[in-house]
Each structure stands twice: as C-alpha cells, then as structure tokens.
Amino acid sequence: MAYICTDFERPIFLSEMRKTFFTRFLLVAALFLSQTTFASEKENEHNEHGKDLKTEIKEYIAHHLQDAHDFSLFSYTKENGEHKYVGFPLPIILWDNNGLKVFSSSKFHHGETLAEVDGNYYKLYHSKIYKTDAEGTIHYDEDHHATNVKPLDFSITKNVVMIIVTGLLMLWLFSSLAKSYGKNNGIPTGAGRFFEPIVLYIRDDIARPNIGEKRYKKYMPFLLTIFFFIWFLNIFGLTPLGVNVTGNIAITVSLAIMTFLITNFTGTKDYWMHQFDPLGKSLPWYGKIPLYIILVPIELLGLIIKPFSLLIRLYANMQAGHIVLMSLIGLMFIFKSWIGSPLSFGLAFAISLIEVLVALLQAYIFTMLSALYFGFASEEHEHDHEHEAEVAH
Amino acid sequence: MEKLLEEFSLGLFFWQTLLFGLLLFLLWKFAWKPILNAINDREEGIKNALDAAEEAKKEMQNVTADSEKLLKEARAERESMLKEAREIKDKIVADAKEQAQVEGDKMIKQAQATIESEKKAAVADIKEQVANLSIEIAEKVIKEELSDKKKQQKLVDDMLGDIKLN
C-alpha cells in the first residue's frame, strides 16, 4: 500500500507521480534561483557517481516527506563534490538501555558520520537512528530492513520545532486577539479582524449545527485549536521551509486519538446505549440476539473507523500534495527545455494554489468531522429522534 | 500499512501529544475563553441595544398615541364648549325675545288701557263741556226766545224734538 487517497483529484496525480519520479528537488526557494546549467552540471557529476537523476530525486522527495533530525533549509554540492547544508542542528534525545542520551544532531553530519556518545555508536540511516558498532555496520533481513537496535527516539526533530513555532504563533496571535477586545471596547484590532470571523465561523457553522446549542460550548476550545493548528501547519508545509508536519502519520494519529478520546469520554448514556443496543425498543430482546451478533461489532468498529478515517484523510492529502508538488518541480530539471520546464512550472504553480485551498479544506474537514462525532456522542435521546426524522426526509 | 507503521515515530507522537495538549490548555485559558466571552458579551450587548431600541420605539409610539389622544380630547372639548356657548347664546336670545315680547305686550296693554281710560275721560269731558255749552247756548237761546212768546213756544217744540232725536 503506497498512499491512501480520499480525494478525487489525487489518484490521477499519483499515477502520474510514479511515472515522474525522475526529478531532483532542491527546494522551492533554491529552485527559483537555480539555473539550468547549475542543475545539468550536478546531473553529470552524479552520473559519475553511478546515481542517476531519477533515483536522486526520488530519494530527495522521500527524504523531504519524512521528519528530519536537523533543520536544513537547503543543500548544494560544491565543485569538489562536497555536500554543503544550510540550516541548523537540533537536539537528539535518545532513551537507550543504559539511560538518557542528549546530544546535538551536528554529530551525525547529516548522516555522513557516526555519533559516538558515552561509548555507544549511533547511525542516522533513512532518517532513523540505529545503534551500531564502531564501524557503523547496518544488518539487514531478507526484505532489506535494518535489524539494528533502535533506541527510543524523543529528539526535538524538525517537525517538533515546527509544532513549537506554530504553537507560539497561535498563542501570540490569539492571546493578542483576546487582549484587543478589552482595549478596544469589544472590537478586535489588527490581525484579529481577519481571525475573528473564522472563530465565529467555527462556532456558528461547525460547532452549533453539529453539536447543538446546549453543549457546543465545551467543545469550542478543542475545535478552534485543532482547526488553526492543522491549517497553520498545512500552510507552513507549502512554504520553502520544507516541512511536512500534517503529512506525518504520527501527528495525524495523535490528533485523531484526541478526537476519539474526547468523543468517548463526553459520550452520554444515550450514546453508549446506541452503541450496544442500536435497535432500542423497536424489537423484543429475543429478536435482537441474532442481529446484534453482527450489529454490535459493527457499531464498535465504527468507533475506531471514524477517527481512523480522520487520520488517514489528513495524512494522505497532505502527503500526496507534497509529492505532486515536488514531482512537478522536479520535472523542470528533467525537461530542461524551453517548452517542458515552463509547462511544469505553470503546473506546479497551479497545484500550489490548489494546495493552499486543500490546506484550508483539510483543516475544515477535520474540524467539521470532529464536531460531528462530538455531536453524536453528546446527543440526548429526544434529539436523537429528531435527528433520525431529519435524515428520513 | 507496513510503510505507515514504519513511518510512525513514537517520539514525534509523544511530542505532538504533549505540545498539542499544552497548546490546547494555554489557548483555552488565555485565548479561546476570553475571545468567546468577549464575542458573547458583544453579541448580547448588540441584542440588548436592539431590544432597547425596540422598546424606545414602542414607547415613542405610545407617547405619540397619547398626545394624539389628548389632542383629540381637547378638540372634542372645544367643540362641546363652542356648542354649549352657542346653545346658551341662543337660549339667552330666545329668553330675551320672549321677555321682550311679554314686556311689549304688557306695555301695549297698559297703553291701550291708558288710552281707553283717557278716551273715556275725554269723552266724559267732552260730554260735560258739550252739556255745559248746550246749557249756555240754551240759556242764551232761552233768554232771547223768552223775550217773545211765539218764539218760546217754538223753542220748546224744537227742543223736545231734538231730545227725541238724541
């Protein structure tokens, strides 16, 4: 299973994407500055190394999609073949058999060297840290998977840095919005004028209709936080910073688990009754037994499937968006012609615009569906029937 | 699925959960609560202001209605007062006329009575004077007539004749 797709536009680009895995991507910013001559020189050089452009671009995209242990903005290769990285190292925090290890990621030299800490050797291999011997040998099984010991990795990675940055940005933005109410007689100032209508939209068009007038208030902080968090990180993913936070499975799993926990911890008696007794009084108990053997497991499975669809949808959309965008940018370096390169530039530009929309849309969908699940969980019985009646119409 | 599991990083999951929880808590406390409260207050304020405006409008309408009513009343009162005054005037005039009539009648009657009595008196006076004159004339005539016998006789005859005529 490569990438799971939930949107209509994705499969087309995905199949195209596999065909067009030939490309090299430096980075959006670097790309605008780079010239074709520069790229072609590099290509020749790498051909000498036995690596063709396709493989290199493929690796570059795969590398970009993953989390990184250092914050590198872009890298380039000098005339003498030496790789130069522009960025800064991040702290590595490992929990090994013999305790906590904290060191700078600069020790890895971007995976080129081993890091030696307290007599242990660690190797950065495909963005993951393995414990090795002094030579840095990686043992493989039949499927070419590394079998070395993996210490628990609690490093402050690139994605963690972006989460912190986004968190601080949100704190600053929204606490200043909150303060501006006091200062300006209940009217927001500055950026708040832009964000207040969005807050109102989430309240009036997401929380209120889906959760209900009585109970929507207690869910508002979570819905607001999750919406802006996903939206901001999606947008950051489109910047030349080259981060892919919301397209990371660990992030979406965490977000979906929170929705799952809140849904089930705030679930009313009626909600749980519906899970274990979906037919209610419409059938005598002896009639229910054969049905419930199938129905109750389905209902319970639904509990898991709902947040699972949330996490896969967000992950797949953002992941696929990044792949498509980078592949199209890579195409420019492949074509290197007066027709092909501008064409793929135009395409990449159009896809970027769509991605800006997708960034907002995915944040909206995640928030909307979370609100919907909260609404189901907190529904009282009489409302339940109203809802069924509405559906029936 | 295998790829997904391989991509899953426990460390990132840990940091994400921790940081998101912290962010949620901080934003809850310092942003969402005051923001939502402020918006709520503002909305309530707007609602109250609208309600107050509606109330004021109603009050205004009441006041207008009241003043209109007062005006109507005043107009009606004036009307009734005018009517009353007219009636009084008419009555006074009518009364005066009647009285004048009565008075006039009375005066006329008096005058008539006076005239009647005056007339009677005058007639009586005239009768007396006529009698006196007649007597005087008779005296003179008698004196002259009595100077001649024939004449005397004649006189007596005439007078007798006259008296009969009367």
User: Token pair of A209, please?
Assistant: 């209709």
Q: Which of A126, A155, A184 is the last residue of a domain?
A: A155
- Our CA-based measurement puts residue B66 at a distance from the nearest CA of chain A, in whole angstroms, of 39
* A213 three-state secondary structure: coil
Same domain, A365 and A316: yes
Instruction: Judge: A248–B12 Cβ closer than 8 Å, yes or no.
Output: yes
Q: Are A279 and A295 in contact (CB under 8 A)?
A: yes
B31 domain residue, yes or no: yes
Same domain, A134 and A252: no
B25 domain residue, yes or no: yes
Q: Any CB–CB contact under 8 A between A81 and chain B? A: no
- Cα–Cα distance, A176 to B34 (Å, whole number): 11
B74 domain residue, yes or no: yes
Q: Which of A103, A126, A155 is the last residue of a domain?
A: A155
> Which residues from A are below 8 Å from B31, CB to CB?
170-171, 174-175, 177-178
Instruction: Judge: B10–A200 Cβ closer than 8 Å, yes or no.
Output: no
* Confidence tier at B85 by pLDDT (50, 70, 90): very high
* A253 three-state secondary structure: helix
Instruction: Judge: B11–A248 Cβ closer than 8 Å, yes or no.
Output: no
- Cα–Cα distance, A18 to A1 (Å, whole number): 13
Q: What is the pLDDT of residues B130-159, one digit of tens each?
A: 888 888 888 887 777 677 777 777 777 887
* Residue to test with chain B: of A251, A252, A259, A367, most B Cβ within 10 A: A251
Instruction: Judge: B16–A225 Cβ closer than 8 Å, yes or no.
Output: no
Instruction: Judge: A159–B7 Cβ closer than 8 Å, yes or no.
Output: no
* A344 three-state secondary structure: helix
Q: Are A327 and A20 in contact (CB under 8 A)?
A: yes
Q: What pLDDT is attached to residue A50?
A: 52
Same domain, A191 and A140: no
A358 domain residue, yes or no: yes
Strand partners, A100: A95
- Which amino acid, residue A5? C
List, in order, residues 6 or more apart from A232 with CB less than 8 Å away. Answer: A166, A169, A170
* B120 three-state secondary structure: helix
B35 domain residue, yes or no: yes
Which residue does chain A place closest to B1, by CA atoms? A1
Which residue does chain B place closest to A315, by CA atoms? B4
B102 domain residue, yes or no: yes
Q: Any CB–CB contact under 8 A between A156 and chain B? A: yes
**Number of domains making up chain A:** 2
Instruction: Judge: A251–B28 Cβ closer than 8 Å, yes or no.
Output: no
Of the two residues A386 and B99, the one the predictor is more confident about is: B99
Same domain, A136 and A238: no
Q: Are A245 and A229 in contact (CB under 8 A)?
A: no
> Which residues from A are below 8 Å from B30, CB to CB?
171, 174-175, 178
The percentage of chain B sitting over the pLDDT mark of 70, rounded to a whole number, equals: 96
Nearest to A154 among B11, B39, B41 (CB): B11
Backbone torsions φ then ψ of A89, nearest 5 degrees:
-75, 160
Cβ-in-10-Å burial (0-12, 13-18, 19+) of B87 comes to exposed
- Cα–Cα distance, A18 to A13 (Å, whole number): 9
Residues of chain A numbered 335-374 and touching chain B (CB < 8 Å): none
Tens digit of pLDDT at every position of chain A (393 positions): 344 444 444 444 444 444 333 334 333 333 443 333 344 444 444 444 456 777 888 888 888 888 888 887 777 777 777 777 788 888 888 888 777 888 888 888 777 777 777 777 888 877 788 888 777 777 787 777 777 778 888 888 888 999 999 999 999 999 988 888 888 777 888 888 899 999 999 999 999 999 988 889 889 999 999 999 999 999 998 888 778 888 888 999 999 999 999 998 888 888 888 877 777 777 777 777 888 888 888 888 988 999 999 999 999 999 999 999 888 888 888 877 788 888 888 999 999 999 999 999 999 999 999 999 999 888 775 544 545 544 544
Same domain, A97 and A227: no
> Which residues from B are below 8 Å from A200, CB to CB?
39
Cβ-in-10-Å burial (0-12, 13-18, 19+) of A281 comes to exposed
Same domain, A193 and A282: yes
> Cβ–Cβ contacts within 10 Å for residue B89, how many?
10
Residue span of the structural domain in which B106 resides = 13-165
- Cα–Cα distance, A269 to A378 (Å, whole number): 9
**Number of domains making up chain B:** 1
> Which residues from A are below 8 Å from B39, CB to CB?
196, 199-200, 203
Q: What pLDDT is attached to residue A132?
A: 80
Q: Which of A363, A347, A98 is nearest to A230 (CA)?
A: A363
Q: What pLDDT is attached to residue A382?
A: 54
Q: What pLDDT is attached to residue A23?
A: 37
Strand partners, A76: A84
Q: Is the pLDDT of residue B30 over 60?
A: yes
* Confidence tier at B50 by pLDDT (50, 70, 90): very high
Same domain, A201 and A104: no
Same domain, A146 and A245: no
Same domain, A349 and A223: yes
Tell me the CB-side half-sphere exposure of residue A225, using CA atoms within 13 A.
Answer: 28
> Cβ–Cβ contacts within 10 Å for residue A294, how many?
9
User: Token pair of A88, please?
Assistant: 């800064």
Q: Are A255 and A226 in contact (CB under 8 A)?
A: yes
Which residue does chain A place closest to B32, by CA atoms? A221
- Our CA-based measurement puts residue A92 at a distance from the nearest CA of chain B, in whole angstroms, of 11
Element holding B42 (H helix, E strand) = helix B33-145
Of the two residues B81 and A141, the one the predictor is more confident about is: B81
- Our CA-based measurement puts residue A331 at a distance from the nearest CA of chain B, in whole angstroms, of 26
Same domain, A302 and A386: yes
> Which residues from B are below 8 Å from A2, CB to CB?
3
Q: Which of A251, B108, B166 is nearest to A243 (CA)?
A: A251
- Our CA-based measurement puts residue A39 at a distance from the nearest CA of chain B, in whole angstroms, of 30
B8 domain residue, yes or no: no
- C-alpha distance from residue A286 to each of A280, A281, A290, A295, B108 (Å): 13, 12, 8, 15, 127
Q: Between A192-201 and A158-183, two packed helices, what is the crossing angle to 10 degrees?
A: 100
Same domain, A145 and A169: no
Q: What pLDDT is attached to residue B47?
A: 94
- Cα–Cα distance, A180 to B38 (Å, whole number): 10
- Cα–Cα distance, B45 to B40 (Å, whole number): 8
**Is the ipTM here above 0.85?**
no
Element holding A201 (H helix, E strand) = helix A192-201
User: Token pair of A392, please?
Assistant: 């029936």
- Cα–Cα distance, A293 to A283 (Å, whole number): 15
A337 domain residue, yes or no: yes
> Which residues from A are below 8 Å from B3, CB to CB?
1-2
A58 domain residue, yes or no: no
A51 domain residue, yes or no: no
Which residue does chain A place closest to B16, by CA atoms? A251
Backbone torsions φ then ψ of A124, nearest 5 degrees:
-90, 110
Which residue does chain A place closest to B4, by CA atoms? A249
Q: What pLDDT is attached to residue A36?
A: 38
> Which residues from B are below 8 Å from A93, CB to CB?
11
Backbone torsions φ then ψ of B149, nearest 5 degrees:
-75, -40
Q: How many CB pairs under 8 A join A and B?
A: 128
- Which amino acid, residue A365? I
Instruction: Judge: B23–A177 Cβ closer than 8 Å, yes or no.
Output: no
Burial profile B136-153: b = 16 or more Cβ within 10 angstroms, e = fewer: eeeeeebeebeeeeeeee
DSSP code per residue over B54-71: HHHHHHHHHHHHHHHHHH
> Which residues from B are below 8 Å from A182, CB to CB?
34, 38
B3 domain residue, yes or no: no
- Our CA-based measurement puts residue A163 at a distance from the nearest CA of chain B, in whole angstroms, of 7
Q: Nearest 5 degrees, angle CA B40-CA B42-CA B45?
A: 110
Nearest to A254 among B16, B23, B36 (CB): B16
Q: Which of A121, A97, A127 is nearest to A107 (CA)?
A: A121
Which residue does chain A place closest to B39, by CA atoms? A186
- Cα–Cα distance, A271 to A278 (Å, whole number): 10
Q: Are B12 and A160 in contact (CB under 8 A)?
A: yes
Same domain, A319 and A362: yes
Q: What pLDDT is attached to residue B145?
A: 65
User: Token pair of B97, please?
Assistant: 């006329």
Of the two residues B25 and A75, the one the predictor is more confident about is: B25
Which positions in chain B have a beta carbon within 8 angstroms of at least one beta carbon in chain A?
1-4, 7-17, 19-20, 22-24, 26-28, 30-36, 38-39, 41-42, 45
Element holding A232 (H helix, E strand) = helix A220-238
- Our CA-based measurement puts residue A256 at a distance from the nearest CA of chain B, in whole angstroms, of 11
- Which amino acid, residue A377? A
- Cα–Cα distance, A14 to A324 (Å, whole number): 7
User: Token pair of A41, please?
Assistant: 């020189």
| Residue B31 DSSP symbol | I
Residue span of the structural domain in which A105 resides = 91-155
- Cα–Cα distance, B72 to A44 (Å, whole number): 105
Cβ-in-10-Å burial (0-12, 13-18, 19+) of A75 comes to middle
| Residue A169 DSSP symbol | H
Which residue does chain A place closest to B30, by CA atoms? A175
